[in-house]
Amino acid sequence: MKKAVLAIVFLLLGITFVGCNKSEKSEAKVVSPQEVQALIQLNNVQLIDVRTPKEFKEGHIKDAQNIDFLSSTFTEDIKTLDKEKPIIVYCRSGRRSANSTKKLQEAGFTEIYDLEGGILKWEQEGFDVTKSL
């Protein structure tokens, strides 16, 4: 397991290094639940759940922050995030998070990761979710 996590971390570092050589606007990277788990363990990422508050309360990834993509204040809310830190976004299945990555790019974020398959795939792969009271 440790070897797999290390391999994923090195893979992500390689992707990031190659991404630094691209033009100023980089594309969001779609990553697997295993890659997200490795990124979270690095402790220098912002984890954003872009589902509704009701969906968030029903179950979310531990330490995620809820910023509802469907909210009229989404564009303003993302401005409170640190543009210097990597950001991981996810939703239920991937559509809202894909749309939110475009807004994040427009806002000046450059290191953006999108959880492939959303929280549905996260749970399908056996990763835990936290429920709010």
In a domain? residue 69:
yes
**CATH code of the domain in which 112 resides:** 3.40.250.10
The dihedral built from the CA positions of residue 66, 69, 74 and 78, taken in this order, carries a sign that is positive
Q: Annotated catalytic residue: which of 38, 48, 64, 91?
A: 91
Q: What is the value of pTM for the model shown?
A: 0.80
95 within some domain:
yes
Per-residue pLDDT in tens (0 to 9) along the chain, 133 residues: 555 444 454 544 454 444 444 444 568 999 999 999 999 998 799 999 999 999 999 999 999 999 999 999 999 999 999 999 999 999 999 999 999 999 999 999 999 999 999 999 999 999 999 998 6
Residue 129, domain member (yes or no): no
Its domain, for residue 70, covers: 2-124
Per the domain annotation, does 48 fall within a domain? yes
Amino acid 3: pLDDT: 56
20 tagged catalytic? no
